[in-house]
Structure 1
Amino acid sequence: MARFIFITGGVVSSLGKGLASAALGSLLQARGFSVRLRKLDPYLNVDPGTMSPFEHGEVFVTDDGAETDLDLGHYERFTGVPARMSDSVSSGRIYSDVLEKERRGDYLGKTIQVVPHVTNQIKEFISIGEDEVDFMLCEIGGTVGDIEGLPFFEAIRQFSHDQPRGQCIFMHLTLLPYLSASGELKTKPTQHSVKELQSIGIAPDILVCRSEQPIPEKEREKIALFCNVRKEAVVAAYDLKSIYEAPLAYHREGLDQAVLDAFAISPAPRPDLTIWQDVYDRIHNTDGEVNIAIVGKYIQLEDAYKSIKEALTHGGMANRVKVNVEWVDAEIFDREDPAPHLEGFHAILVPGGFGERGTEGKIRAAEFARTRKIPYLGICLGMQMAVIEAARNVAGLKDAGSEEFDHEAGEKRFTPVVYHLKEWVQGNRKVKRKVSDDKGGTMRLGAYDATLKDGSRVAQIYGTTGIDERHRHRYEVDTTYREQLEKCGLTFSGMSPDGRLPEIVEWADHPWFIGVQFHPELKSKPFAPHPLFADFVRAALDNSRLV
């Protein structure tokens, strides 16, 4: 049976609960334990799939097709454990499941209430797969005191009492603000946050205190006294230059030891931190740098492209170079020449997105990279825009476009090089979709196989002709124009196993120009960089030497 660690936050949001959870998971792995991490989000959306990137940042997709919070990306990147649909849940999903049971009559006519029905549903979710690992880490979104989060706090309180003594602990993240006027750290916000947690029946075993300044021994003792925790269980969390320093930093502060002490695990296995020492070395000991432009439409919130930014960092680690990323608004190119904005970059990446806004700018960015022989990586929509650019400017299909932006293809207003995907094969079954379907959870989601063309660049990069990658899209490049495009030099170098859906395109006469329908960034890790990103950064490095 797993031991459970519940991670909560107080004072303010965005303190780094996800990062702390992921780092702790990696430290427990370093001591020989198996782990799984979960996220419980209080918002009422069923999942973040239909939420604006400006609202919620990136949507992380699992192999089994769940659209989840971006913190699951942290969990995977730090532990290497593939996330599952059962590792993310929201209030919306919980209430939806409870109401479905009520409609079926599962509750036998009882009055449905938050306690016990909603809390029991949350506890059932927490228990999934509890016999599979040594430690289950469950992060509660938001902060203590949020009205939406109260059912989750009540559920984990009940859950801890249901388990045998010593099977559950609570870790609470708080802020220690530094007042420059008085030159001191203030512990009162942390005290109030813990008091709020205690008022709902939860006493933290470990406090992780986010601070810009070192925590003096006097303040540490004060926190321990007033928050009723051991002094050794007051762990400092300082700002870091890179998130990948977190495992080593938390180990130095004694977080993993505090957790093992809370569970009375003695003697504690010695940690093997070789992997993270190597990661640290690759971050801080580089042999050069490259400048890469990300031409996107959600650049005002960098979290919208979180996994892409991290995957580029991993590619830099693989090549021992620093990757300087600059965000470029695709809409600028709708009205301006891209050359002044993109000259000087060693590579260009065009990420995914939804809707028409900024797409003409992405097409012009793809044209700039193709004609100037600059390494280009197009992801999802970035691949589709590269194909439309090729169709318009090389294959002679001047009116090439996408059904995503104009649904009047039947009137021949444009040539639908990209169309709405209405059916595909998933495992041994056929999936069908209509344009009028609900938006949530109706895309081609999760891991799908692809077959790569022998001798292609991507086959060389992957070192195999059979791959599987994660998808999140509802529009697809039309193979009707494949022969016409390939005659012009755009190779369809990756296809679905049935040969119907294009997965990868590449220009044969270009130093490095690849578009992929899937999202390779979702599987990249600091200790296992994705091969596409590693080779993309290598190509950027080669290009930097030519400039």
Structure 2
Amino acid sequence: MPAPDGNSEHKPKFVFVTGGVASSTGKGLVAASIGTLLEGQRLKVTFQKLDVYLNADAGTMNPLEHGEVFVTEDGTEGDLDLGHYERFTSATMARHNDLSGGQVYGSVLRKERRGDYLGATIQVIPHVTDEIKSRILACGAGFDVAIIEVGGTVGDLEPVPFLEAISQLRTELEIGRSVVVHVAAVPFFTGPGELKTKPAQHSVQELRRAGITPDILVARAEEPLDERLRHKLARFCGVPVEAVLSSPDVKILYELPLVLQAQGLDGLLGARFGIGLGRSDLGLWRETVQRLSSARDEVVIAMVGKYVDLSDSYKSLNEALIHGGIACGVRVRVRHVDSEAVEAEGPAAMLTDVDGVVIPGGFGPRGIEGKISCAGWLRTERIPFLGICLGLQVAAIEFARNVTGFAEANSTEFDPDTPHPVIDLMPGQRELPDLGASMRLGSYQCDLLPGTRAFDAYRQPRIAERHRHRYEFNNYYREVFSQHGMVFSGRSPDGELVEMMEITDHPHFVSCQFHPEYRSRPTAPHPLFAQFVAACRESAQRRDKSRRNSIPTGARP
């Protein structure tokens, strides 16, 4: 009998990851870790994030509320969990890997308008749930295992159609083709001084009301659960005690697959799938974690941004810097610095004790002068700098103002009437009616200039990187910039767009219009970040040597 997806030859298996009690319990990291374990079995895996909001995608969501927007190769603006999936596995995400409630309802309504439903009354069941099921099955086609993460929290209103669809799909799939992993918070209450399992119990009850019984329960707590609590959760949640696992706080994010493997998650998945998985081969992963944990030297890198309240706003960039540290054998400590505070206090007051600075992407005028002044201070003080997207643009504005003599230079994003628009709106962006999914998005090629830092990092003449921007460097100013020492080390293949700029007479002053952080992985650090962290390490060594030389000989230990 053919599978519900109509494929009788290849039948992908599905891991459904749900969450309870509260958001941000770590569902995405557990889902990504499951992918690590299954790839350790040489299985081909993919992912899908069911983002239950009615937005069409994450592109217009506030990063302070929803975290960063992760951009895929094909230009999808997705949930930040897609970044976890890519960093923890070899999978590459695309449009079908991020499914929102807005996409589901939009598709159903378009079909209704076309007459696809033949006059039927459109309802959540079966029309909405059938749409969700078809998208899940299509995502899994061609893979051994599809890991489906349900956004939101069990018990909320938004996930109800998605959970109903999964409940139906579990019934329709043959036995052994699906597993439900439920991630629930087990909070610590300071009053009684103990972990409380009742919230997790209630979340499992809510999941059961949706027609789904979990096969594996992952308790998210500060510390590993003791045997008493594991048995208690097993008894009240109807899950075998060996299938009650802990997801405790870890010092290094990438330890989580190893922690879950130590509790037998790979074996549990194999038993549920009926394929008898042994212990996953995580040799390279274990080696990577070991390199990170054993690093003795540390560099401090400031990230001067406008969304510093939550590190998830720059999640991929944080991780890419850590990956650069893995490549260089050093620990990277990222310090988030508010660009508005730099405006008020000045860069010298806030950045004197750092080894390097990153200025990340962003939109809007708030805090922009702080970023511009920061770029100038880094240039003159010869401190390693990496500018990304908006970081390139503020570096260009500062250079125009203080090196080429265009004192009123700016971006037309911040000052539409500037007499020197060194950064201007891309021609194709001028008449767009919508903000969502309308930027220059996804992977584009870039040609590198031999003999530059950019070329030395990549070691190849043509690269491809992911973009997310509306504004670009104004070609009118290329010649005068070049005359004053700015090198355009990366351009689009047609030569029209500036992709990278650098100052060669500087320890490290490199900026790019694209977002290299999206393609960095702990097992394959991105070359730009490896190069930048290496420069920061040299900066730290110079500062340490200068500090030691300034101490009188008799005062040295």
* TM-score normalised over the length of structure 2: 0.93
Name the structure 2 match of 1:462.
Answer: 458
Residues 1:152 and 2:157 aligned together: no
Equivalent residue for 1:229, pick from 232, 236, 239: 239
Output aligned runs, 1:130-529, within 5 Å: 130-266=140-276, 268-408=277-417, 413-423=418-428, 433-529=429-525
Taking a change above 3 Å as real, the CA distance of residues 376 and 157 of structure 1, as seen in their structure-2 partners, is same
**Corresponding letter in the other structure for 2:421:** P
Cα–Cα, structure 1 residues 238 and 475, in superposed 2: closer, same or farther, change >3 Å?
same
Do 2:46 and 2:140's aligned partners in 1 also have CA atoms closer than 8 Å?
no
Unaligned runs of 5+ in 1: 424-432
Distance of aligned partners of 1:189 and 1:333 in 2 relative to their CA distance in 1, 3 Å threshold:
closer
Q: Which moved more, 1:221-230 or 1:119-128?
A: 221-230
Pairs within 5 Å for 1:528-543: 528-543=524-539
The equivalent of 2:120 in structure 1 is 110
Aligned to 2:109: 99
Secondary structure of the corresponding residue to residue 140 of structure 2: coil
Q: How does 1:47-126 map to 2 (within 5 A)?
A: 47-126=57-136
Rounded Cα–Cα distance in structure 2 between residues aligned with 1:45 and 1:183: 41
Match of 2:548 in 1: none
Aligned to 2:7: none
CA-CA distance at 1:400 after TM superposition: 1.1
Amino acid at match of 2:465: E
Secondary structure in 1 aligned to 2:148?
strand
User: For 1:129 and 1:211, how far apart are their aligned partners in 2?
Assistant: 31
Deviates more, 1:462-471 or 1:326-335: 326-335
Structure 2: where are the runs of 5+ without partners? 1-10, 544-557
Task: State the shift of 1:6 in Å.
Answer: 0.4
Instruction: Please say if residues 350 and 382 of structure 1, whose CA atoms lie closer than 8 Å, have aligned partners that are also in contact.
Output: yes
Q: Please state how far the C-alpha of 1:436 moved relative to its aligned partner.
A: 4.5
Flag the 1:129–1:183 CA change in 2: closer, same or farther, 3 A: closer
Structure 1 partner of 2:550: none
The SS at the match of 2:116 is: coil
**SS of aligned partner of 1:22:** helix
How far is the alpha carbon of 1:333 from its aligned partner?
3.0
Q: Distance in 2 between matches of 1:193 and 1:130?
A: 27
Structure-2 separation of matches of 1:447 and 1:89: 20
Distance 1:465 1:362 in 2: 31
How many angstroms does 1:507 deviate by? 0.5
CA distance in 1 between counterparts of 2:63 and 2:492 reads 28
Deviations 1:203-242 (A, max 9, x none): 1111011122332323322322222222111111111111
Q: Partner amino acid for 1:464?
A: Q
> Deviations 1:18-68 (Å, cap 9, x if unpaired)?
000001100111122111111001111111101111121100000000000
Query: 1:32·1:269 contact (CA, 8 Å) conserved in 2?
Result: no
CA distance in 2, matches of 1:179, 1:390: 53
Q: Structure 2: which amino acid aligns with 1:192?
A: H
Q: Tell me the secondary structure at the aligned position of residue 164 of structure 1.
A: coil
Structure 1 distance, partners of 2:67, 2:187, is 26
Specify the SS of the correspondent of 2:82. helix
Q: In structure 2, what is the equivalent of residue 7 of structure 1?
A: 17
> 1 CA distance for matches of 2:228 and 2:349?
56
Whichever residue aligns with residue 146 of structure 2, its letter is M
